[in-house]
Structure 1
Amino acid sequence: MNLGFLPPELVALLGAGFWHAAIVFLRVSAMVAVLPAMGELYVPTRVKLAVAAAFTFVVAPALPAFPEPDGVMEYARFAVTEAIIGLALGIGVRIFVLTLQTAGTMAAQSTSLSQVLGGIGAEPMPALGAVLMISGVALAAMMGLHVRVAELMIRSYQMFPAGQFPAAAGLTEWGVFRVSQSFSLAFTLAAPFVVTAVIYNLTLGVINRAMPQLMVAMVGAPVITFFGLFILMVGSPMILDVWMRSLMTFFADPGGGMP
């Protein structure tokens, strides 16, 4: 494009702004690709691209200008490092959705609800996992997920400077910490269902010992299904509240667990 009709200073400014936005877009687009709500499999690629561009327009002005890459190799280095960092941060947020799915799987296996509506989402999961995941994503969007994500993107440049490879040991330790926290949180969220299932099975065992001729499995199956649905109805607000607090804690301190 011929920009000879523009002043040289404006042309230089536009060029610097383009490279600055392009470098920011590399990290932002990689992060958006795996974010909850915005990076789901059923979201069209054009929508993801538009969301990444919108985040770029928000994040880029809040950062000091990056110098124009000196050659193709330097831009390739930016592309690799920014993609790795963006994916790592996006997966850190995505893990919280997997936490809800894991908690739903634990609850469904405990209450004999693992086969009902098993294919409701893009990934196979039990009904309880699908309900908790959709509810959690909707709650996060209502609580300003896009604002928290933009803040995380801006703060990420203090944790991981642009163009620098993150330390492999530190990133690995951070990932292990996030996964361990995810399973711990998932078990905490599914604890009401697991405790109910333990009490239910102990009760059936006592009844079976007292009346061996009674088919306790036929009698008890509707009971555990009812209690599973009842706990989901009564306890889901508290479950989602605990999950949302953990998600906001991560946004407040995304570097937790990193040496």
Structure 2
Amino acid sequence: MVTFDIGLLYDWMNAFLWPFFRILALVTVAPALGESSIPMRVKIGLAATATVAVAPTLAPMPSLPTGSFTALWLTCQQVLIGIALGLVMRIVFAAVQAGGEIVGLQMGLSFASLFDPATGANTAVLSRFFNVIAILLFLVLDGHLYMLTCLIHSFHTLPVQPGKLDINGWGVLLEWSGQVMVSGVMLALPLIIVLLTINLSLGILNRTAQQLSVFSVGFPISLMAGLTLLTIVLPQTTSFLSNLFDKGYSEMARLAQGLSGL
């Protein structure tokens, strides 16, 4: 005879509810999947589909009343974990955008900006261009699948259970955020060196031939040299971006371990 009680209903709900919140939080924040151009219904549907596929493989969830304060705190924990894991990969793309900002500043295109719906602010054209290239490469290399795989592994490293998250895990996220400037400068370094050399040459030329207007000559030279270098350098950035994505996956695993206290 099959018996049914309220505890069994709680177990059924909890088996899908808490993993769903962690997955949805990552999908909302993560690059490519969390873009503002993607409707929220699509994000919720993707998170629900992933939850249905993943939930049967996870460890049993805590047997708690779904409407209790403990369950509410556990839900907030899952949302924070998902957001933190998504921010790890978002930092990778922030580094790419920072590289585009630096290149645009050196080329004299810092004034050319347009509205970015993802950030809600004006962004340099080259920054948007670099970001689009990074997202396309991310999808081509199945980065979104690797990112979801790291999220699924986080359920084994950091299972759903009552308790507090280790503060050292948040330190991992803060440490990784330093890659925004480091990786951004490394990405833009070839163009920075060449454009800085051109600017120094124009400065010397201005001192030797003062009748020559450097401001009227220097801008088109810097712009044409920068565009020429972009056509040469950008095809060579695939390995750099791929390594940066791999570091992001490793940091997601390290963040999950740090939050679990391992």
Instruction: Give yes or no for TM over 0.5.
Output: yes
Query: Equivalents in 1 of 2:113, 2:251: separation in Å?
Result: 36
The answer as to whether partners of 1:31 and 1:86 remain within 8 angstroms in 2 is yes
For the residue of structure 2 that corresponds to 1:118, the secondary structure is strand
Aligned residue for 1:156? 154
Unaligned runs of 5+ in 1: 1-5
- 2:91 and 2:2 map into 1 onto residues whose CA distance is 49
1:193-232 equivalent positions in 2, closer than 5 A: 193-232=191-230
Which has the higher mean CA deviation after the structures are superposed, 63-72 or 134-143? 63-72
Report if aligned partners of 1:26, 1:79 keep a CA contact under 8 Å in 2. Answer: yes
Aligned residues of 2:31 and 2:135 also touching (Cα < 8 A): yes
Aligned partner of 2:107 among 111, 116, 120: 111
Q: Is the 8 A contact 2:58 2:156 kept in 1?
A: no
Kindly provide the amino acid, as one letter, of the partner of residue 109 in structure 1.
Answer: L
Q: Secondary structure at the match of 1:125?
A: strand
State the 1:117 CA deviation. 5.0
Q: Which residue matches 1:69?
A: 64
Q: Give CA-to-partner distance per residue, 1:157-178, whole Å, 9 cap, x none.
A: 244332333222x133212211
Segment drifting more, 20-29 vs 228-237: 228-237
1:227-246 paired onto structure 2 within 5 Å: 227-246=225-244
Deviation at 1:197, TM superposition (A): 2.2
- Hey, what's the Cα distance between the residues in 1 that align with 2:10 and 2:234? 51
**Larger RCO (CA within 8 A; separation ≥ 6):** 2
Aligned residues between the structures:
253
Alpha-carbon contact 1:102-1:183 (below 8 Å) kept: yes
1:80 equivalent to 2:76? Answer yes
Residue 183 of structure 2 is matched in structure 1 by 185
In structure 2, what is the Cα distance between the partners aligned to 1:46 and 1:203? 55
Q: Matched residue of 1:239: which SS?
A: helix
1:135-154 alignment runs, 5 A limit: 135-154=133-152
Structure 2: segments with no counterpart, 5+ residues: none
Q: Distance in 2 between matches of 1:254 and 1:122?
A: 22
Alignment pair present for 1:55 and 2:54: no
Structure 1: which amino acid aligns with 2:170?
Answer: T
Tell me the TM-score normalized by structure 2: 0.87
Report the aligned-residue RMSD: 2.4
1:10 Cα offset (Å): 11
| Alpha-carbon distance between aligned partners in 2 of 1:24 and 1:172, rounded to the nearest angstrom | 20
One-letter amino acid of the counterpart of residue 108, structure 1: G
For the structure 1 residues 122 and 161, does the alpha-carbon distance in structure 2 shift closer, same or farther, using more than 3 Å as the test? closer
Q: Give the stretch that moved more between structures: 8-17 or 143-152.
A: 8-17
Residue 30 of structure 1 aligns to which amino acid in structure 2?
A
Between 1:56-65 and 1:98-107, the stretch displaced more is 56-65
In 1, Cα distance between the equivalents of 2:110 and 2:248? 30
TM-aligned CA distance change 1:117 to 1:14, over 3 Å = same
Contact in 2 for aligned 1:103/1:187 (Cα 8 Å): yes
Is 2:96 the counterpart of 1:97?
Answer: no
Superposition deviation, residue 211 in structure 1: 0.2
User: What amino acid maps onto 1:42 in structure 2?
Assistant: S
2:157 & 2:229 partners in 1: Cα distance?
A: 41
Percent identity between matched residues is 25
Structure 2 CA distance for aligned equivalents of residues 120 and 15 of structure 1: 43
